Protein backbone atom coordinates (compact mmCIF):
# COMPACT_ATOMS: atom_id res chain seq x y z
CA UNK A 1 0.00 0.00 0.00
CA UNK A 2 1.36 3.43 -0.87
CA UNK A 3 2.16 5.96 1.84
CA UNK A 4 -0.42 8.30 0.33
CA UNK A 5 -3.15 5.68 0.37
CA UNK A 6 -2.30 4.73 3.96
CA UNK A 7 -2.37 8.40 4.97
CA UNK A 8 -5.78 8.93 3.35
CA UNK A 9 -7.23 5.79 4.92
CA UNK A 10 -5.96 6.80 8.35
CA UNK A 11 -7.37 10.30 7.90
CA UNK A 12 -10.74 8.94 6.78
CA UNK A 13 -10.84 6.59 9.78
CA UNK A 14 -10.05 9.44 12.16
CA UNK A 15 -12.57 11.84 10.58
CA UNK A 16 -15.52 9.82 9.20
CA UNK A 17 -17.50 12.93 8.20
CA UNK A 18 -14.73 14.37 6.03
CA UNK A 19 -15.37 15.56 2.51
CA UNK A 20 -13.27 15.39 -0.64
CA UNK A 21 -12.19 18.98 0.06
CA UNK A 22 -10.96 17.88 3.51
CA UNK A 23 -8.86 15.17 1.88
CA UNK A 24 -7.28 17.66 -0.52
CA UNK A 25 -6.50 20.00 2.39
CA UNK A 26 -4.94 17.12 4.35
CA UNK A 27 -2.80 16.13 1.36
CA UNK A 28 -1.70 19.72 0.80
CA UNK A 29 -0.75 20.24 4.43
CA UNK A 30 1.03 16.89 4.65
CA UNK A 31 3.20 17.96 1.72
CA UNK A 32 3.66 21.67 2.42
CA UNK A 33 2.90 22.05 6.13
CA UNK A 34 1.18 25.16 7.36
CA UNK A 35 3.72 27.59 5.92
CA UNK A 36 0.99 29.14 3.79
CA UNK A 37 -0.55 30.52 7.01
CA UNK A 38 2.55 32.58 7.82
CA UNK A 39 3.43 35.28 5.30
CA UNK A 40 6.53 36.42 7.21
CA UNK A 41 8.28 33.81 9.40
CA UNK A 42 10.38 36.49 11.10
CA UNK A 43 7.25 38.38 12.12
CA UNK A 44 5.68 35.17 13.43
CA UNK A 45 8.79 34.43 15.49
CA UNK A 46 8.78 37.99 16.86
CA UNK A 47 5.11 37.65 17.78
CA UNK A 48 5.76 34.40 19.67
CA UNK A 49 8.73 35.94 21.49
CA UNK A 50 6.65 39.02 22.45
CA UNK A 51 3.80 36.81 23.67
CA UNK A 52 6.24 34.77 25.76
CA UNK A 53 7.62 37.96 27.28
CA UNK A 54 4.15 39.23 28.20
CA UNK A 55 3.19 35.92 29.82
CA UNK A 56 6.52 35.65 31.60
CA UNK A 57 7.46 32.40 29.87
CA UNK A 58 11.15 32.48 28.95
CA UNK A 59 12.26 31.34 25.53
CA UNK A 60 15.80 30.01 25.97
CA UNK A 61 15.95 29.17 22.26
CA UNK A 62 14.09 30.00 19.07
CA UNK A 63 10.53 28.58 19.20
CA UNK A 64 11.16 26.28 16.23
CA UNK A 65 14.33 24.93 17.86
CA UNK A 66 12.39 24.23 21.04
CA UNK A 67 9.64 22.44 19.10
CA UNK A 68 12.14 20.29 17.20
CA UNK A 69 13.81 19.39 20.49
CA UNK A 70 10.50 18.31 22.01
CA UNK A 71 9.79 16.06 19.02
CA UNK A 72 13.30 14.59 19.26
CA UNK A 73 12.77 13.91 22.97
CA UNK A 74 9.62 11.94 22.15
CA UNK A 75 7.16 14.39 23.73
CA UNK A 76 5.10 14.32 20.53
CA UNK A 77 4.45 11.16 18.58
CA UNK A 78 2.51 10.99 15.33
CA UNK A 79 -0.57 8.84 14.98
CA UNK A 80 0.13 5.34 13.70
CA UNK A 81 -0.56 4.71 10.04
CA UNK A 82 -3.10 2.05 9.14
CA UNK A 83 -1.29 -1.13 8.23
CA UNK A 84 -1.73 -2.62 4.79
CA UNK A 85 -4.51 -5.16 4.55
CA UNK A 86 -3.37 -8.64 3.68
CA UNK A 87 -5.17 -9.62 0.50
For 51, list phi and psi in degrees, rounded to 5: -65, -40
Which string of DSSP letters, residue by residue, matches 4-35? HHHHHHHHHHH-TT--HHHHHHHHHHHHHTTG
Query: Does position 73 have pLDDT exceeding 70, yes or no?
Result: yes
pLDDT at 18: 86
14-66 pLDDT, tens per residue? 888 888 888 888 888 877 776 666 677 778 778 888 888 888 887 788 777 77
pLDDT band with cut points at 50, 70 and 90 for residue 86: very low
Amino acid sequence: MSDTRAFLLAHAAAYPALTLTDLFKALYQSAFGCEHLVADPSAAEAYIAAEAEVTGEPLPEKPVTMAIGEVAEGKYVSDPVIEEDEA
